[in-house]
Amino acid sequence: MKIIIIGAGPGGYETAAEAASRGIETILISDGPLGGTCLNEGCIPTKALCAIDAPDQERKQAVIEQLRAGISQLMRNKLITLVEGRAKLLSPRSVEAAGSVYEADAIIIATGSVSASLPIPGAELTIDSAAMLNLSNVPRRLCVIGGGVIGLEFASVYRKFGSEVTVLEFCPGILPRFDTDLAKRLKASLVKRGISIETSARVTAIAPGKVLWTKADKEYETEADCILMAVGRRPNLASLNLDDLGITHGPRGIAVDANMQTNVPGIYAIGDITGGMMLAHVASAHGRRALNHICGTPDGIDFSIVPAAVFTVPEVACVGKTEEECEGMEILTGKANYRANGKAVASGEADGWCKVVAEKASGRILGAHIMGAHASDIIHEAAVLIALGATVSQAGDIIHAHPTLSEVLLAAIRSC
C-alpha cells in the first residue's frame, strides 16, 4: 500500500510517521518547512515568547530549529519520501509536485489554514500573527483586533513585555466558544493586569497609527504603534485543484465524513483544512482516524472530547461541554478557587478558578473549565474522566497528592 500526504504540519508529519510504522510507503509533500504553522508560526514560537520576559528572537528560533530537526529525523525513514513543492491533485490517485507525478492508493490533504482578515479599509496596515512573532522590538501601544485565542495570547505576552494593550472584540464576550463564566473571569484577570478589553466593538477602518471602531452606535478610535489582526484563520484551499476533481468544499473548508473521507473515495482531508476545531492535536487525531480507515482498523477516538488551552496569563483550558451547551438538561456544577489551594498560594499563583459540569441524574462528568497556573496540564485529567464516563462520586474518591494544583479539580468535583 502507498499513500500521499499533502502538508507537513502536525497532522501530516505525524500521520506519515504512523503510516511508516505500519509498513506503509508514504509520500509527504510540503511547500513549507516541516512542522507547518504550529511549529514555525504558531503554537511553539508563541509559547517560547510566553516563557520569557522580553522578545528574544534567537531563543525562539533555536526552539523552532531544535524541534524541526527532530521532525526531520523522524522523517528519515526508508518508507517515507519527502517532496518539497506545492501539490496539485490530478486524480483520486495521483498528485503533481516539484515537476513530478506521484501515485498512491489514497491521498490525505493536510494543508492547514492561513490567517484571516477583516474586509475593511486600511486592513493592509495591520500585521498577522506570523509577523507579530518576528517583532524584535516592543511596541509602546499595541491594538489587537480579535479577542479569541490568538489575540489574547499575544495581548497577554506583550502586556508582560511592557506594551499598552487594547483588545477589540466584536462579540459580547472574549473567547466566544468557551464557557461564559470562564471567559468573564479571564477578562477580569487580564483587565486587572492592565489590558484594556472592549467587547461588542465593531472595527470599521484602519488608518495610520489608529483603529476606528464603533460600539452602541458611538464612534471611537484607538491609537496604536502596532495593530495585530487576529480574527481567526481560514482553510488553505489554494492550488489544490479541488473543483476539477469534484471535491465538495466551501469557505469553511473541505467537507468530510466521520472517517475524514471526502465525497471522492480515496481522498481524505484532515485538520484545519476541514474547517472544524483548528487545533494541532485535532489534526493529529484526524490523521490517525483517516489512516485507520484506510487500513480498515477501527478506533475509539471521540472527537467530542477535545481539550483546548489558551496560554494567556493566567492560562485557561477546557474540555467537554460548557454549561451553556447543557441548556435543557438537569446538571450539577461544582466550583473551586485556586486561592484555597495550598500549592497555588505557596507558589504565588492564587489567581485561578475551576468549574466542573455533570449530569444530575447519573452524576456523569460532562465538562471541565479551568483558569489558572498549569490549567493546560490539569485539564487532561478531566479529559480522561469524561472519556471513561466517570461520575463525580467516582472521581471524588480518587486520591490526589498534596500539595498539588490538581487538587483544584478534585475540589470542584467534590462540590458538585
Which residue do the cell numbers 499513500 mark? 3
Question: Which among 82, 36, 20, 33 has a CA at the least distance from the CA of 279?
Answer: 36
Per the structure block, which three cell numbers stand in for 147?
A: 479577542
Question: Which among 160, 144, 162 has a CA at the least distance from the CA of 152?
Answer: 144
DSSP characters over 168-181: E-SSSSSSTTS-HH
Which residue do the cell numbers 484571516 mark? 116
How far, CA to CA in Å, does 33 sit from each of 10, 84, 180, 377? 12, 9, 38, 28
> Can you say whether the dihedral through the CA atoms of 249, 231, 178, 40 is positive or negative?
positive
Helix (H, G, I), strand (E, B) or coil at 114: strand
Would you call 402 a catalytic residue per the annotation?
yes
Q: Please name the helix (run of DSSP H) or strand (run of DSSP E) that holds residue 401, with its range, or none.
A: none
Q: Are 254 and 242 in contact (CB under 8 A)?
A: yes
- Count CB neighbours of 81 within 10 A: 16
Question: Which among 211, 212, 299 has a CA at the least distance from the CA of 258?
Answer: 299
Instruction: Round to whole Å and give the CA distance between 15 and 7.
Output: 10
Among the listed residues 249, 293, 380, 402, the single catalytic one is 402
Instruction: Round to whole Å and give the CA distance between 162 and 54.
Output: 9
Which residue do the cell numbers 489575540 mark? 151
Q: Are 281 and 313 in contact (CB under 8 A)?
A: no
Count how many Cα atoms sit within 13 Å of the Cα of residue 14 in the half-sphere of its side chain: 21
DSSP characters over 360-390: TTT-BEEEEEEESTTHHHHHHHHHHHHHTT-
Question: Which among 112, 95, 93 has a CA at the least distance from the CA of 28?
Answer: 95
Mind telling me the catalytic residues? Answer: 402
